[in-house]
Amino acid sequence: MYSKNHIKITAEALAILVLLLATVSQVAAYGELTHYSINRDADKKSTEELSGAVAPDAFSDLLYGTNDLNSFVHMELPGVLYGPLDHYLYPAAGSPLQVSQELWAGGWTAHTTEDRSSHGTYLVGSPYLDPNNYLSAAYADTLLEHFKAEFGGDILSYWLKQGTMPEELIVYPDQVKVALKSYDSSCGTSFSSGYDPQKFLESFIALNAAVYSEQALIDLRHDKKMQFTDWLYLKWAILKYNGPYKEYYPDAVEDVKKMSTPEAKCISQDMWISANSIAVAKKINSDAAKIKIDTGNKLIKDGLIKPNKKIDIKNGAVTINFEKTVNDIKLAKVYEQYLEESYEKQTGKRIKIMEEIISEGSRSNIVDIKEKYLDLYQELIIKGVVKEENK
């Protein structure tokens, strides 16, 4: 909790400021592999908790276009790190899936809590005021640099932490609908009117299809030997992002470990509309999650990724796993192509994102890593990523 001595403005002005600036800056800075990793390091390892840990980003979808729901669920409330919907996601006592849904809601709350150390906050008294957050420390002030910082963090999470995608995911689209309606009922808003459970499910699946492919791009090993691009990506991520990552990743883990059950707090619709109308000219048009979701949709549509779904009609739970129809090299190549096409769709600019990253990674060598991050290099040896003889 923030100290009351830090709150220098009125409650109404604070709420408007929260909404205004959250609308301007609301983009994710930790990728999904990093969210998975943080949750595991914070001992939230169940399928439900890991699945919930990426669910809020499913609102960042082209199917919705520019929408209030994504900004709303990612907002930070005064005095805490989580968002306004989080309290309402927890099921009523005695419900058929109480334990499973509570875990899933806990994963969701972990996501919004983790986001503070990633993209920061503008709330008075927060420890993550600019420039004290991963995004600012990584100098990711454009969409391209933002995407790179997110990808770099995912690479570090994959090779150095526990940033792998779960073999199975679970999602509760109807639970989100109930939560939005409960929030509306309690707070006099109408956010639930813009929510479609089927679209949310499709977005969640597409997002994770992209993550599945990103993981293949990061790790193309054959016979347990790193490929050329694997090493280039890893060198690039270490030299460019390890500093801010090393500083803010542990903060996110500790924040999740200290996370408490969310309280019920409201932000009025009038304040929301007013803040949006002021900020619309400055609002960032898209974020990395939107690009990933569009990419994932293409991969599914073209048959490279096949999502297998099992729907429990009684309780609305949807269990998902993925399988590929091509080898990892083909999948990584197409993922890269579709990612760049989606980036162009969002920005009007065609940029060879991965070629840029590989070019940057080619400027360094093993000696640079050893000299600058010897402890990290030793860790890579222990994990078997680097051969002992290179020590």
At position 70, the amino acid (one-letter code) is N
| Beta strands 318-324 and 169-171, pairing class | antiparallel
d(CA 197, CA 178) in angstroms, rounded, equals: 10
pLDDT, position 389? 56
Q: What is the tally of structural domains in the chain? A: 1
d(CA 211, CA 229) in angstroms, rounded, equals: 18
Q: Do residues 321 and 308 lie in contact, with contact meaning Cβ atoms separated by under 8 Å?
A: yes
pLDDT, position 9? 32
Identify the DSSP state of 197.
Answer: H
Please report, to the nearest 10 degrees, the dihedral formed by the alpha carbons of residues 285, 288, 294, 296 taken in order. Answer: -170
CA distances from 270 to 45, 69, 74, 76, 188 (A): 39, 15, 18, 18, 10
The partner residues of 205 in beta bridges, in order of sequence, read none
Three-class SS state of 311: strand
| Beta strands 305-311 and 169-171, pairing class | unpaired
Identify the DSSP state of 53.
Answer: T
Task: Provide the phi-psi class of 309: left if phi over 0, else alpha when psi is between -120 and 50, else beta.
Answer: beta
Three-class SS state of 192: helix
pLDDT, position 1? 42
d(CA 140, CA 143) in angstroms, rounded, equals: 8
Return the closest-CA partner of residue 73 out of 64, 60, 91, 92: 60
pLDDT, position 286? 45
pLDDT, position 16? 37
Domain that holds residue 292: 4-390
pTM greater than 0.95 (yes/no): no
pLDDT, position 25? 42
d(CA 83, CA 72) in angstroms, rounded, equals: 8
Name the stretches of the chain with pLDDT < 70.
Answer: 1-28, 61-67, 93-97, 122, 222-225, 268-287, 388-391
